[in-house]
Amino acid sequence: MPLKEHLLELRKRLFLASAGIVLGAVAGWFFYEPLLDALQAPLAAAAEEQGRSIALNFTGLASALDMKIKVSFFLGIIVSCPWWLFQLWSFVTPGLTRREKGYAYAFLGGAVPLFLAGAWLAWWVLPHAVEILTDFVPAGATSFTDAQGYLSFVMRLILAFGLAFVSPVLLVGLNLAGILRHETLAQGWRWAVLIAFVFAAIMTPTPDALTMILVALPICVLYFGALGVCLLHDRRVDRRRMAAAV
């Protein structure tokens, strides 16, 4: 496909994905209050555990409205993940046959649960990350946490986990579509491990090594799991080709 057609296809997929996220954000607008309460729960738990005052701080006149819009879009990203993951797959593998397009459903069947599993794991890690970071506040001091910064902290953590869990499924999907062979994955496993830890170090906002490892290890496990699936698939395809050649 020429570069111009690639750019047009990218624009199309970005538009469709953005439209899905906007629709999800409209629904998220109405669930802002319970979601905000859930986001503040780790701060309240840390305040009770450490015996100090910890609260969100809205520093500007419009910061509360800005916070509501961002929280709505954040929820929109989570709710619309099947849609924008499908757009991702459609862009990466354009021009496939009808049979190969059927792999899109298999991709979504694996990617959506894994994305949600990664988001859930990040949600589970969030209170521990909040406790670690707030523990650096000196005794007797009050921590007024910037609402915008805290939301960015949560979004980065959850999206990092979710996308990390999806990436190996994308590799399997490319293999099923005949675009990527298992030999390529086997040769690049060292780079994959390195990239997993670099990605974890950049995307996780906590300064401790434990959170980075919690992000990187599942990526590595899923990568080698994807390698195993690709190996089995390629062997089956090779046997069929050999039988057809005979």
Percent of the chain with pLDDT over 70: 84
Q: What is the pLDDT of residue 97?
A: 59
Total tally of structural domains belonging to the chain: 1
pLDDT of 95 higher than 60: no
Q: Tokens 């840390």 belong to which residue?
A: 46
pLDDT in tens, 29-52: 888 888 888 888 888 777 777 666
Q: What is the pLDDT of residue 81?
A: 85
How many C-beta neighbours within 10 Å does residue 168 have? Answer: 26
For residue 218, give the nearest of 114, 123, 130 by alpha carbon: 114
Q: Which domain holds residue 141?
A: 3-245
CB 29 within 8 A of CB 68: yes
Q: What is the pLDDT of residue 241?
A: 82
Q: What is the pLDDT of residue 173?
A: 75
How is residue 146 written in tokens?
A: 């910037």
Q: Residue 206 — pLDDT band, cuts 50, 70, 90?
A: low
pLDDT of 208 higher than 70: no
pLDDT in tens, 139-191: 666 667 777 778 878 887 888 888 888 888 878 877 876 778 888 888 888 99
pLDDT in tens, 221-235: 888 988 998 888 888
Q: Which residues contact 20 (CB under 8 A, 6 or more apart)?
A: 80, 83, 84, 87
CB 182 within 8 A of CB 227: yes
Rounded to 5 degrees, φ, ψ at 81 are -60, -35
